[in-house]
Amino acid sequence: MSKIVVTGCAGFIGSHLVEKLLLQGREVIGIDNFHPYYQPSIKQNNIELALQSSKFEFHELSILDKDKLVEVFDGAAIEQVVHLAALAGVRNSFDFPEEYFQINTIGTKNVFEAAISCGVKHFIFASSSSVYGEMQGEKAVEDSTPLNPISPYAQSKVEAEKLIETLQNQYHFDVNILRFFTVYGARQRPDMAFQKFKKKILSGETVELYGENMSRDFTPIEKIIEGIIAALDYKNGLEVFNLGSGKKVLVKSMILKIGKELGVEPKIKVVEQQKGDPSFTLASIKKAKKLLNY
Protein backbone atom coordinates (compact mmCIF):
# COMPACT_ATOMS: atom_id res chain seq x y z
CA MET A 1 0.00 0.00 0.00
CA SER A 2 1.22 3.49 -0.81
CA LYS A 3 2.29 5.69 2.06
CA ILE A 4 2.22 9.35 3.04
CA VAL A 5 5.28 11.09 4.46
CA VAL A 6 4.64 13.82 7.05
CA THR A 7 7.67 15.91 7.96
CA GLY A 8 7.46 17.79 11.25
CA CYS A 9 5.15 15.01 12.38
CA ALA A 10 5.68 15.65 16.10
CA GLY A 11 4.77 19.34 15.98
CA PHE A 12 1.48 21.06 16.72
CA ILE A 13 -0.07 20.65 13.27
CA GLY A 14 1.89 17.56 12.24
CA SER A 15 0.81 15.41 15.17
CA HIS A 16 -2.86 16.24 14.58
CA LEU A 17 -2.49 15.39 10.89
CA VAL A 18 -0.79 12.07 11.59
CA GLU A 19 -3.57 11.01 13.96
CA LYS A 20 -6.23 11.94 11.41
CA LEU A 21 -4.49 10.00 8.63
CA LEU A 22 -4.11 6.94 10.87
CA LEU A 23 -7.79 7.09 11.76
CA GLN A 24 -8.50 6.99 8.03
CA GLY A 25 -6.44 3.81 7.77
CA ARG A 26 -3.56 5.43 5.90
CA GLU A 27 0.04 4.31 6.32
CA VAL A 28 2.22 7.17 7.49
CA ILE A 29 5.97 7.73 7.62
CA GLY A 30 6.76 10.48 10.12
CA ILE A 31 9.94 12.56 10.15
CA ASP A 32 10.99 14.92 12.96
CA ASN A 33 14.24 15.90 14.64
CA PHE A 34 12.77 17.32 17.89
CA HIS A 35 14.45 20.68 17.31
CA PRO A 36 15.04 22.44 20.69
CA TYR A 37 13.26 25.70 19.69
CA TYR A 38 10.85 24.52 22.38
CA GLN A 39 11.00 21.52 24.70
CA PRO A 40 11.54 18.28 22.73
CA SER A 41 9.55 16.44 25.42
CA ILE A 42 6.40 18.27 24.25
CA LYS A 43 6.86 16.93 20.73
CA GLN A 44 7.66 13.45 22.01
CA ASN A 45 4.38 13.48 23.94
CA ASN A 46 2.54 14.67 20.81
CA ILE A 47 3.25 11.43 18.94
CA GLU A 48 2.82 8.95 21.79
CA LEU A 49 -0.54 7.79 20.44
CA ALA A 50 0.70 7.53 16.85
CA LEU A 51 3.67 5.40 17.91
CA GLN A 52 1.23 2.76 19.16
CA SER A 53 -0.08 2.25 15.61
CA SER A 54 1.35 -0.44 13.34
CA LYS A 55 0.63 1.88 10.40
CA PHE A 56 3.03 4.56 11.68
CA GLU A 57 6.76 4.47 10.96
CA PHE A 58 8.87 7.14 12.67
CA HIS A 59 12.31 8.47 11.73
CA GLU A 60 14.18 10.95 13.92
CA LEU A 61 16.27 12.97 11.51
CA SER A 62 16.89 16.49 10.26
CA ILE A 63 15.63 17.65 6.86
CA LEU A 64 19.12 19.09 6.39
CA ASP A 65 20.43 15.52 6.08
CA LYS A 66 19.55 14.84 2.45
CA ASP A 67 21.25 11.43 2.30
CA LYS A 68 19.15 10.08 5.17
CA LEU A 69 16.02 11.57 3.62
CA VAL A 70 16.74 9.63 0.43
CA GLU A 71 17.22 6.46 2.49
CA VAL A 72 13.78 6.91 4.05
CA PHE A 73 12.08 7.69 0.74
CA ASP A 74 13.84 5.08 -1.39
CA GLY A 75 11.81 1.93 -1.95
CA ALA A 76 9.06 2.90 0.51
CA ALA A 77 6.24 3.17 -2.08
CA ILE A 78 5.50 6.75 -1.06
CA GLU A 79 2.57 8.33 -2.86
CA GLN A 80 2.45 11.78 -1.24
CA VAL A 81 4.48 14.10 0.98
CA VAL A 82 3.10 16.68 3.41
CA HIS A 83 6.03 18.91 4.30
CA LEU A 84 5.30 20.65 7.61
CA ALA A 85 8.80 20.65 9.11
CA ALA A 86 10.07 24.19 9.72
CA LEU A 87 11.69 26.44 12.27
CA ALA A 88 8.85 28.65 13.52
CA GLY A 89 8.77 31.94 15.38
CA VAL A 90 8.76 35.35 13.69
CA ARG A 91 10.59 37.25 16.43
CA ASN A 92 13.15 34.52 17.03
CA SER A 93 14.05 34.64 13.33
CA PHE A 94 15.60 38.09 13.74
CA ASP A 95 18.14 36.59 16.16
CA PHE A 96 18.97 33.49 14.10
CA PRO A 97 18.21 34.31 10.44
CA GLU A 98 20.78 31.92 8.98
CA GLU A 99 19.28 28.92 10.76
CA TYR A 100 15.81 29.85 9.50
CA PHE A 101 16.98 29.95 5.90
CA GLN A 102 18.91 26.70 6.32
CA ILE A 103 15.96 24.75 7.73
CA ASN A 104 12.99 26.43 6.04
CA THR A 105 14.49 26.98 2.60
CA ILE A 106 17.39 24.57 2.07
CA GLY A 107 15.65 21.90 4.16
CA THR A 108 12.55 22.22 1.99
CA LYS A 109 14.67 21.86 -1.14
CA ASN A 110 16.21 18.68 0.34
CA VAL A 111 12.81 17.13 1.06
CA PHE A 112 11.46 17.85 -2.40
CA GLU A 113 14.57 16.70 -4.26
CA ALA A 114 14.77 13.49 -2.20
CA ALA A 115 11.12 12.76 -2.92
CA ILE A 116 11.45 13.56 -6.63
CA SER A 117 14.44 11.21 -6.90
CA CYS A 118 12.24 8.43 -5.53
CA GLY A 119 9.33 9.06 -7.87
CA VAL A 120 6.89 10.88 -5.58
CA LYS A 121 4.43 12.91 -7.67
CA HIS A 122 2.33 14.90 -5.20
CA PHE A 123 3.55 17.35 -2.54
CA ILE A 124 1.86 19.56 -0.02
CA PHE A 125 3.91 22.38 1.46
CA ALA A 126 3.00 24.30 4.61
CA SER A 127 3.65 27.98 4.04
CA SER A 128 2.42 30.89 6.15
CA SER A 129 0.22 33.98 6.10
CA SER A 130 3.38 35.86 7.08
CA VAL A 131 4.50 35.82 3.43
CA TYR A 132 1.98 38.62 2.79
CA GLY A 133 3.51 40.91 5.43
CA GLU A 134 1.82 44.29 5.93
CA MET A 135 -0.99 44.23 3.39
CA GLN A 136 -2.58 47.20 1.68
CA GLY A 137 -5.80 45.44 0.71
CA GLU A 138 -8.58 44.09 2.93
CA LYS A 139 -7.98 40.37 2.35
CA ALA A 140 -5.01 38.31 1.18
CA VAL A 141 -5.79 36.73 -2.20
CA GLU A 142 -3.45 33.97 -3.35
CA ASP A 143 -3.02 35.04 -6.94
CA SER A 144 -3.09 38.83 -6.63
CA THR A 145 -1.89 40.02 -3.21
CA PRO A 146 1.85 40.83 -3.41
CA LEU A 147 4.21 38.89 -1.15
CA ASN A 148 5.83 41.35 1.23
CA PRO A 149 7.78 39.46 3.93
CA ILE A 150 8.85 41.60 6.88
CA SER A 151 10.81 39.04 8.91
CA PRO A 152 13.52 36.45 8.18
CA TYR A 153 10.98 33.72 8.97
CA ALA A 154 8.55 35.08 6.37
CA GLN A 155 11.33 35.54 3.82
CA SER A 156 12.49 31.96 4.34
CA LYS A 157 8.97 30.77 3.49
CA VAL A 158 8.83 32.97 0.39
CA GLU A 159 12.14 31.55 -0.79
CA ALA A 160 10.91 28.02 -0.16
CA GLU A 161 7.81 28.71 -2.25
CA LYS A 162 10.01 30.00 -5.08
CA LEU A 163 12.19 26.89 -4.93
CA ILE A 164 9.12 24.66 -5.08
CA GLU A 165 7.79 26.58 -8.08
CA THR A 166 11.13 26.14 -9.87
CA LEU A 167 11.21 22.40 -9.15
CA GLN A 168 7.59 21.99 -10.21
CA ASN A 169 8.29 23.71 -13.53
CA GLN A 170 11.22 21.40 -14.07
CA TYR A 171 9.71 18.06 -13.03
CA HIS A 172 5.97 18.69 -13.60
CA PHE A 173 4.66 17.09 -10.41
CA ASP A 174 1.52 18.14 -8.52
CA VAL A 175 2.05 20.50 -5.60
CA ASN A 176 -0.23 22.41 -3.26
CA ILE A 177 1.19 25.33 -1.27
CA LEU A 178 -0.98 25.97 1.79
CA ARG A 179 -0.66 29.32 3.58
CA PHE A 180 -1.84 28.88 7.16
CA PHE A 181 -3.36 31.78 9.10
CA THR A 182 -2.74 31.91 12.91
CA VAL A 183 -3.59 28.34 13.85
CA TYR A 184 -4.75 27.60 17.39
CA GLY A 185 -5.91 24.58 19.38
CA ALA A 186 -4.72 21.68 21.50
CA ARG A 187 -0.92 21.14 21.52
CA GLN A 188 -0.26 24.71 20.40
CA ARG A 189 3.40 25.65 20.77
CA PRO A 190 4.27 27.27 24.13
CA ASP A 191 5.60 30.39 22.39
CA MET A 192 2.31 31.11 20.64
CA ALA A 193 -0.07 33.88 21.71
CA PHE A 194 -2.89 31.83 23.24
CA GLN A 195 -0.49 29.94 25.51
CA LYS A 196 1.45 33.04 26.57
CA PHE A 197 -1.69 35.06 27.27
CA LYS A 198 -3.26 32.23 29.26
CA LYS A 199 -0.16 31.84 31.41
CA LYS A 200 0.06 35.58 32.14
CA ILE A 201 -3.63 35.95 32.89
CA LEU A 202 -3.58 33.04 35.35
CA SER A 203 -0.48 34.37 37.10
CA GLY A 204 -1.88 37.91 37.34
CA GLU A 205 0.82 39.36 35.10
CA THR A 206 0.15 42.15 32.64
CA VAL A 207 -0.52 41.05 29.08
CA GLU A 208 1.25 43.22 26.53
CA LEU A 209 -0.87 44.05 23.49
CA TYR A 210 1.20 45.12 20.49
CA GLY A 211 -1.12 47.80 19.14
CA GLU A 212 -4.68 48.65 20.19
CA ASN A 213 -6.16 47.62 16.83
CA MET A 214 -4.02 44.58 16.04
CA SER A 215 -6.14 41.79 14.61
CA ARG A 216 -5.64 38.27 13.33
CA ASP A 217 -7.41 35.67 11.24
CA PHE A 218 -7.55 32.93 13.89
CA THR A 219 -8.01 29.41 12.50
CA PRO A 220 -8.83 26.32 14.59
CA ILE A 221 -6.52 23.36 14.12
CA GLU A 222 -9.46 21.17 13.07
CA LYS A 223 -10.10 23.37 10.01
CA ILE A 224 -6.42 23.32 9.03
CA ILE A 225 -6.39 19.52 9.16
CA GLU A 226 -9.55 19.42 7.03
CA GLY A 227 -7.82 21.65 4.50
CA ILE A 228 -4.71 19.49 4.33
CA ILE A 229 -6.77 16.32 3.94
CA ALA A 230 -8.75 17.95 1.13
CA ALA A 231 -5.51 19.01 -0.59
CA LEU A 232 -4.35 15.38 -0.60
CA ASP A 233 -7.16 14.71 -3.08
CA TYR A 234 -6.44 17.76 -5.24
CA LYS A 235 -3.87 17.27 -8.00
CA ASN A 236 -3.69 19.96 -10.66
CA GLY A 237 -0.14 21.13 -11.20
CA LEU A 238 0.86 23.99 -8.90
CA GLU A 239 -1.86 25.58 -6.76
CA VAL A 240 -1.63 27.95 -3.80
CA PHE A 241 -4.37 28.05 -1.15
CA ASN A 242 -5.03 30.22 1.89
CA LEU A 243 -6.31 28.23 4.86
CA GLY A 244 -7.86 30.63 7.34
CA SER A 245 -11.23 31.53 8.80
CA GLY A 246 -11.82 34.54 6.56
CA LYS A 247 -12.65 36.60 9.65
CA LYS A 248 -10.66 39.36 11.35
CA VAL A 249 -10.67 39.30 15.17
CA LEU A 250 -9.15 41.95 17.43
CA VAL A 251 -6.36 40.45 19.53
CA LYS A 252 -7.65 42.51 22.47
CA SER A 253 -11.07 40.85 22.27
CA MET A 254 -9.37 37.46 22.15
CA ILE A 255 -7.44 38.26 25.34
CA LEU A 256 -10.66 39.32 27.05
CA LYS A 257 -12.37 36.10 25.93
CA ILE A 258 -9.54 33.98 27.31
CA GLY A 259 -9.84 35.87 30.60
CA LYS A 260 -13.59 35.28 30.68
CA GLU A 261 -13.14 31.55 30.09
CA LEU A 262 -10.54 31.42 32.88
CA GLY A 263 -12.66 33.55 35.22
CA VAL A 264 -9.89 36.14 35.58
CA GLU A 265 -9.96 39.81 34.54
CA PRO A 266 -6.89 40.32 32.30
CA LYS A 267 -4.50 43.20 32.90
CA ILE A 268 -3.73 44.64 29.47
CA LYS A 269 -1.08 47.15 28.51
CA VAL A 270 -0.88 48.49 24.96
CA VAL A 271 2.73 48.70 23.76
CA GLU A 272 4.53 49.44 20.50
CA GLN A 273 4.03 47.02 17.63
CA GLN A 274 6.83 44.46 17.35
CA LYS A 275 9.03 44.26 14.26
CA GLY A 276 8.03 41.48 11.93
CA ASP A 277 4.39 41.54 13.05
CA PRO A 278 1.83 42.95 10.59
CA SER A 279 -1.01 45.00 12.07
CA PHE A 280 -3.54 42.49 10.73
CA THR A 281 -3.93 39.23 8.82
CA LEU A 282 -7.03 38.21 6.91
CA ALA A 283 -7.47 35.45 4.37
CA SER A 284 -9.62 35.26 1.32
CA ILE A 285 -10.70 31.61 1.35
CA LYS A 286 -12.81 31.72 -1.82
CA LYS A 287 -10.31 29.64 -3.79
CA ALA A 288 -10.06 26.97 -1.08
CA LYS A 289 -13.85 26.84 -0.80
CA LYS A 290 -14.27 26.42 -4.54
CA LEU A 291 -11.50 23.91 -5.26
CA LEU A 292 -11.06 22.10 -1.94
CA ASN A 293 -14.60 22.42 -0.56
CA TYR A 294 -12.87 23.94 2.50
- The pLDDT, as a whole number, for residue 76 is 87
Helix or strand (DSSP H, E) at 184: strand 183-184
DSSP state of 132: G
Domain segments of the chain: what residues? 3-183+218-244+283-292
Give CATH for domain 3-183+218-244+283-292.
3.40.50.720
DSSP state of 86: -
- The pLDDT, as a whole number, for residue 1 is 58
Neighbours of 139 (CB within 10 A): 18
- The pLDDT, as a whole number, for residue 211 is 87
Of 153, 184, 234, 294, the catalytic one is 153
Phi-psi region of 137 (alpha: psi -120 to 50; beta: other; left: phi over 0): beta
Q: What is the mean pLDDT of each run of 10 residues along the chain (294 residues)?
A: 91 98 97 95 97 98 96 92 96 96 98 94 97 92 96 98 96 96 95 92 95 94 98 97 97 96 96 91 98 98
Name, in order, each residue with C-beta under 8 angstroms of 127's C-beta and a sequence gap of 6 or more: 157, 160, 161, 177, 178, 179, 180, 240
* pTM (whole model) above 0.85: yes
Give catalytic status of residue 153 as yes or no. Answer: yes
Tell me the C-alpha distance between 190 and 167, whole Å.
34
- The pLDDT, as a whole number, for residue 6 is 98
